[in-house]
Amino acid sequence: MQAQNPPLRRFTESRPAMGSSFTIHLYAEDQARAARLMEMAFDEIERVEEELSNYRAGSELSRINRLAAQQAVTTDGEVFGLLRLSLDYSRRSDGAFDITVGPLMRAWGFFRGEGRYPKPEELAAARAATGWRNIILDEQNRTVRFTRAGVELDPGGIGKGYAVDRVIGLLREAGVQSALVDAASSSMAAMGTPPGEPGWLVHVPRPGNRAQFISSVLLRDNALTTSGNYEKFFRIGDRTYCHIMDPRTGQPVQGVLQATVVTPDATSGEALSKVAFVLGPERGRQFLETVPGARALWVVGEAAAPRTVAWKWQRSAPAAGATGARSVEPHGRPYSF
């Protein structure tokens, strides 16, 4: 009689990383295998952060930022590929997504955690140093060069999604068939489904109140990413200034509270959620039409009276049942994309 494989059990672990918290859910045969898989996964997140952090002086990205205005900098294939992908999204979105927004973030005070309205000369200098066209990539020699001093790369708009995808890839190579990798609920990707379930149930939070959610989605071999104006912001009078910049104007985006996208992978999802946030529903829909499998849900207006705008996203009610959270709409079935 052939021995049966032991039933899979669900294991979950969270650790701080990349300025937030990563949580990994996976199914494995036993605790020992789950522990090995978790260690491998979190080691990979640490490796990606060591490559991409602009807060670590020894990272590859920091090295590029220090040298690329003076000379062409040869980098490794992984970082070069991510820069190439980032610039492609910048080109396609006409600069709505841009990994050179660091000077703008600094001018508006978000790197120090205390937002402020910049002086006109500060804003002008930051705008001059911002722009994806200031980066020159040489495919043949795998080099990066900045066309002017003051330019810097800020991977904050795509790095977490890339780390999520890297972990999903490693777990798949290790034989895992069901996993969910969640970076602070803002970027998550699913592989397979939990045993006996149609997908991984995840929730789109209500802007400014993660104890409530406005929609639920069953993920299966795809990703969900949310960008919101409530992560970092400050107020002057009755106006809110958030950390998500429109790189083309040098100003924080107004009128959009949150943008959520479903995409085939988390790396593109992070970039596209920023594009959707900056462009807003009307122009964002036009852009996302060019992305196979993309769907979007915006929350727009004022925080006191928000409204949702859906694109390829059913408007009917979300699912109930999130532990520690509740829906703000009547209960119904989750969406499966």
274 in a structural domain: yes
Instruction: Give a yes or no: residue 134 inside a domain.
Output: no
Structural contact between residues 224 and 274, judged by C-beta atoms closer than 8 angstroms: no
Identify the CATH number of the domain in which residue 292 sits: 3.10.520.10
For 4, the enclosing helix (H) or strand (E) is none
Does residue 216 sit within a domain? yes
Average pLDDT over residues 180-199: 96
Residue 47 is predicted with a pLDDT of: 97
Nearest alpha carbon to residue 205 among 222, 176, 189, 185: 185
Residue 176 lies in a domain: no
| Backbone phi, psi, residue 80, to 5° | -60, -45
Is 328 inside a domain boundary? yes
- At position 198, the amino acid (one-letter code) is P
Token pair of 132 as six digits = 């994806």
Give pLDDT tens digits for 289-318.
999 999 999 999 987 788 999 999 964 444
The pLDDT assigned to 82 comes to 96
- As for how many domains the chain has, the answer is 1
Q: Check residues 289 and 233 and name the one with the higher pLDDT.
A: 289
285 domain residue, yes or no? yes
Q: What is the pLDDT of residue 212?
A: 87
Cβ contact 44:164 at 8 Å: no
Termini Cα distance of the chain: 41
Q: Which segment, 194-198, 205-209, 331-335, is predicted with the most confidence on average? A: 194-198
Distance between CA atoms of 237 and 309, rounded to whole angstroms? Answer: 27
The domain containing residue 229 runs over which residues?
A: 193-336
Residue range 7-18: average pLDDT? 96
Question: Is 215 contained in some domain?
Answer: yes
**pLDDT number for residue 244:** 92
Distance CA 119, CA 254 (A): 19
Sort strands 335-336 and 209-219 into parallel, antiparallel or unpaired: parallel
The pLDDT value recorded for residue 321 is 36
Q: pLDDT per residue over 25-76, tens digit each? A: 999 999 999 999 999 999 999 999 999 998 888 999 999 999 999 999 999 9
CA distance 294 to 272: 9
Q: Is residue 55 part of a domain?
A: no
Give me the pLDDT at residue 114, please.
73
Determine the pLDDT at residue 4. 65
